[in-house]
């Protein structure tokens, strides 16, 4: 059934009222980039901006999911409503995150329990036109509009994808573990820059001191202009040890960021990058509609691959043609 | 000194003649995205397409550089001219690749030796407008135009960046090592799909059998439509053991790809994706010139971050305005 504007408005009203099935439906509309996606997001937008958005990233196998579950449970106990977006683009063969969604949701709740104040969504979409970071941000926005106080965005891995994804967070936790062979030095450069808090999880393992030393050494090299050095917290996700301390550090960090006006600065920076991305996508859609369909691209690529055309000359011509074609399409009546 | 068209043509003539200092100069023009970059690339383009482009990627610490050096040396011994682009975006604090450039070049050549048939370029540029994959591809193109038979593109890490970078390769080697704690399963999904050859380097370490078993297990799960399962070759980069076998496998793979017409298919696919990327970049430049400068973006982002504007409505309006502004700029005389 296609949605009209009224249907979208009613759906988003139910989302904002905390109705879980409507939330799942709204997310699907956004995630699948349906024609209704923009209307859903527009309707949700005014109801966002109040939640604290927390990014959790770090090396695979660092125990991020267990830690995120612990954090979510603690916040639930203090009455906060929590949303979780778990992004896992790494498991194409097993169905990965999509399959894991329900299993994890169940584990978080326990059997025969329903908690309307907790919503978990797993995502494994790869290769969509707008990219995973865009989709994650839009899904997080819809979840936030459903009245959550805290939205956790959890990623697998520490690559550029993950950095792009957690850019929407107000506070980012980078989770490391001792002795993974995965040295701190081998982490992507950007990770050091986005970390507000370092978490050494599985801290009962040998090598926790060494990891902390490496973090400190990189920090001193980084010579950041920040007046605050990101704290390092040790946790054991499986037992919950260190989680209360971590909650405290998250809260202090939030207060510090707010007092310094940095939350606002970050959100402004985020929207600036995000809107540039949205503009880029919108322009590409215009190009596809005006002379650069996938078939057109295939044709031109054929000419370039066989050396009949030089791409460095061809591309500017194609772009000029997009502008001409769109102009012709938008002003047919003036010429009649 | 700014370059005019004649100067660019003369520079590229010297590049094609194998003149090393001109090559370095041409690469710098391209790498720094100067106004001459497009002319340099256009002039180089007709002299490319004959070299074999080999991508080398894999987990950090897998010994890729040593292996690449071994391969380069072997090909040099059989008279082939070799170019190497080593991409390392991970070391922002130490100067990383840029500093390492000369040191590695020297190590490859030994003291007091000059080999005009080998050219090594390290790259660590991050955050350029077009992205690292674009710059790497353009630099590789210039190196190829200088008469190289083989161009090796070596990356650090196994994230999306690296996958994007090696997409330009005709053949991709994925290098793994035994017992890194970095399980094969934790590799980015795309890596399994781009590997033509798996190399288990440091194969004298314990765990080589286990890594090979994991690769085989993932391959059987992947159910690829390829009629050929990527071979696994064991090497010890430091001693050179297994390198002759690897050279043989690379050659067989090239022959198989060529016989099946797959090299052409790949290059067509590559140029298709590449041109889409170039179009995207060109469109964004148009947007920047017509109403969406960085300052404009900052202004709009401010309105969105403070909830005065809804980005999902605003962006389509801004894009429509770009088209109007460009039209107005391109047809001033028709209205007079």
B161/A157 Cβ within 8 A: no
Distance from CA of A9 to the nearest CA of B (A): 15
Residue whose C-alpha is closest to residue B188's, from B165, B162, B211? B162
- Residue A111 confidence (pLDDT): 53
B38/A272 Cβ within 8 A: no
Q: Which residues of B touch A187 (CB under 8 A)?
A: 90
**Nearest neighbour of B301 by CB, restricted to A186, A275, A304:** A275
Residues, chain B: 336
Task: Give the phi and the psi of residue B310 in degrees, each rounded to 5.
Answer: -100, 115
Q: Which residues of A touch B89 (CB under 8 A)?
A: 188-189
- Residue A247 confidence (pLDDT): 97
- Residue B55 confidence (pLDDT): 95
Compute the distance between CA of residue A50 and CA of residue A64 in angstroms, rounded to an integer: 25
First to last CA, chain B: 39
B189/A92 Cβ within 8 A: yes
B276/A279 Cβ within 8 A: no
A270/B42 Cβ within 8 A: no
Query: Any idea which architecture A49-260 has in CATH?
Result: 3-Layer(aba) Sandwich (3.40)
Residues, chain A: 336
Stretch (H or E) spanning A85: strand A82-87
Distance from CA of A69 to the nearest CA of B (A): 21
pLDDT digits (tens, 9 = 90+) for A31-60: 888 889 999 999 999 999 999 999 999 877
Instruction: Give the residue extent of every domain in chain B.
Output: 1-47, 48-261, 290-335
B283/A287 Cβ within 8 A: yes
Q: Which two tokens stand for residue A137?
A: 């941000």
- Residue A231 confidence (pLDDT): 94
Distance from CA of A268 to the nearest CA of B (A): 5
Q: Which residues of B touch A298 (CB under 8 A)?
A: 268, 272
Residue A284 to residues A143, A226, B320, Cα–Cα distance (Å):
28, 37, 13
B283/A283 Cβ within 8 A: yes
Q: Which residues of B touch A45 (CB under 8 A)?
A: 307, 310-312
| Residue A97: band (very low, low, confident or very high) from pLDDT cuts 50, 70, 90 | very low
Query: Strand pairing of B118-123 and B171-176?
Result: unpaired
- Residue range A323-327: average pLDDT? 86
Contact partners, residue A294, CB within 8 Å, separation at least 6: A288
Q: Residues B304, A275: contact at Cβ < 8 Å?
A: yes
B302/A268 Cβ within 8 A: yes
Q: Which residues of B touch A323 (CB under 8 A)?
A: 286, 323, 326-327, 330
Compute the distance between CA of residue A329 and CA of residue A325 in angstroms, rounded to an integer: 6
Q: Does the global pTM surpass 0.80?
A: no
pLDDT digits (tens, 9 = 90+) for A108-140: 555 555 678 899 988 875 545 557 788 899 999
Residue of chain B nearest A39, judged by CA positions = B312
Domain at B48-261, CATH homologous superfamily: P-loop containing nucleotide triphosphate hydrolases (3.40.50.300)
Compute the distance between CA of residue B267 and CA of residue B276 in angstroms, rounded to an integer: 14
Residue A303 has pLDDT above 60, yes or no: yes
- Residue range A265-271: average pLDDT? 92
pLDDT in tens, chain B (336 residues): 556 889 999 999 999 999 999 999 999 999 888 889 999 999 999 999 999 999 999 877 788 989 999 999 999 999 999 999 988 755 443 334 434 444 455 555 555 556 778 999 888 755 455 577 888 999 999 999 999 999 999 987 666 677 788 889 999 999 998 875 555 655 655 677 788 999 999 999 999 998 898 888 777 766 555 667 899 999 999 999 999 999 999 999 999 999 999 999 999 999 998 998 899 888 988 899 998 998 998 999 999 999 999 999 999 999 999 988 888 887 655 444
Residue whose C-alpha is closest to residue B318's, from A283, A289, A271, A316? A283
Residue A73 has pLDDT above 50, yes or no: yes
Residue of chain B nearest A279, judged by CA positions = B315
Q: Residues B299, A335: contact at Cβ < 8 Å?
A: no
A93/B221 Cβ within 8 A: yes
Compute the distance between CA of residue A43 and CA of residue A46 in angstroms, rounded to an integer: 7
ipTM at complex level: 0.81
- Residue A40 confidence (pLDDT): 96
pLDDT digits (tens, 9 = 90+) for B153-168: 998 766 667 778 888 9
Q: Which residues of B touch A161 (CB under 8 A)?
A: 159-160
Which carries the bigger pLDDT value, residue A284 or residue A246? A246
Burial (0-12, 13-18, 19+ Cβ within 10 Å), B316:
middle
Which carries the bigger pLDDT value, residue A179 or residue A140? A140
Residue whose C-alpha is closest to residue B200's, from B188, B223, B182? B182
Compute the distance between CA of residue B31 and CA of residue B330 in angstroms, rounded to an integer: 30
Q: Which residues of A touch B188 (CB under 8 A)?
A: 89-90, 157, 159
Task: Output the average pLDDT for chain A.
Answer: 84
Distance from CA of A112 to the nearest CA of B (A): 33
């Amino acid at each position: 059934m296609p949605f009209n504007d009224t249907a979208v408005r009613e759906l988003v009203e139910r989302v904002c009222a905390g109705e879980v099935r409507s939330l799942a439906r709204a997310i699907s509309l956004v995630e699948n980039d349906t024609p209704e996606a923009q209307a859903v997001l527009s309707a949700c937008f005014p109801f966002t901006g109040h939640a604290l958005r927390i990014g959790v990233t770090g090396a695979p196998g660092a125990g991020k999911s267990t830690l995120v579950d612990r954090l979510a449970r603690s916040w639930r106990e203090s009455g906060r409503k929590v949303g979780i977006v778990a992004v896992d683009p790494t498991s194409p063969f097993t169905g990965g995150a999509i399959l894991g969604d329900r299993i994890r949701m169940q584990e978080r709740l326990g059997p025969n329990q329903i908690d309307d104040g907790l919503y978990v969504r797993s995502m494994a979409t790869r290769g969509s036109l707008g990219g995973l970071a865009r989709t994650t941000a839009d899904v997080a926005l819809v979840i936030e509009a459903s009245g959550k106080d805290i939205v956790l965005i959890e990623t697998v891995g520490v690559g550029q994808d993950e950095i792009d994804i957690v850019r929407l967070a107000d506070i980012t936790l980078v989770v490391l573990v001792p002795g993974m062979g995965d040295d701190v030095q081998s982490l992507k450069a950007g990770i050091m820059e986005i970390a507000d808090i370092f978490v050494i999880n599985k801290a009962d393992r040998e090598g926790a001191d060494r990891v902390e030393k490496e973090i400190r050494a990189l920090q001193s090299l980084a010579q950041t202009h920040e007046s605050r050095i990101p704290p390092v917290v040790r946790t054991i996700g499986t037992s919950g040890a260190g989680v209360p301390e971590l909650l405290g550090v998250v809260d202090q960090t939030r207060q510090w960021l707010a007092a310094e006006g940095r939350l606002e600065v970050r959100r402004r920076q985020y929207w600036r990058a995000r809107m540039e991305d949205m503009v880029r996508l919108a322009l590409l859609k215009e190009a596809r509609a005006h002379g650069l369909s996938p078939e057109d691209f295939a044709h031109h690529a054929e000419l370039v691959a066989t050396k009949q055309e030089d791409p460095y000359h061809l591309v500017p011509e194609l772009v000029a043609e997009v502008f001409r074609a769109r102009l012709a399409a938008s002003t047919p009546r003036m010429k009649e």
